[in-house]
Amino acid sequence: MAACNSSSTSDNTSDSTTMSSDTTGTMSSTDTTSSATATDTSAVASSTAMKDGIMTMKDGKMMVMQGGSWQPMTADVTCTNGIKVKKNGEMTKGTKKKTLTEGEMIDKDGQLTDANGKSLDNAGW
């Protein structure tokens, strides 16, 4: 089974030798070697870019992302698709109810994701 998030590493090495002579006729050489390693950081970058307004259940409390840090949720929120998110983590739309579990997230548009950022099916909402 292949891993979904594979990283690639490549080494780019270049050697150069510089020869110089002084007035006494002796030769000296300088060896310069450079090495660069490239690493795939796309998974890291995407996990750190959280939008303001994302809500999550964290340690049994509802939290909202504000200015790059998690803050306690102080008021109920109605998402643009009509889902109402309460401070206790209960979500309602019409007669349907669901409570966010630890790590699940919902954004201001009502899009649900699991703790890993994978979209959850919210077609019933």
**Structure confidence at residue 35 (pLDDT):** 47
DSSP-based three-state secondary structure for 73: coil
Between CA 62 and CA 81 the distance in angstroms is 20
The sign one gets for the Cα dihedral 108, 114, 119, 120 is negative
Between CA 100 and CA 58 the distance in angstroms is 10
pLDDT of residue 12 exceeding 70, the answer is no
pLDDT of residue 85 exceeding 70, the answer is yes
Average pLDDT over residues 35-41: 48
Average pLDDT over residues 32-41: 48
Q: What is the DSSP letter of 43?
A: H
Instruction: List CB contacts of 14: < 8 A, sequence separation 6 or more.
Output: 33, 34
Average pLDDT over residues 82-86: 96
User: Which H or E element spans position 20?
Assistant: strand 11-21
Cβ 89 vs Cβ 57: under 8 Å:
yes
pTM of the predicted model, to two decimals? 0.59
DSSP-based three-state secondary structure for 44: helix
Q: pLDDT tier at 48 (50, 70, 90 boundaries)?
A: low
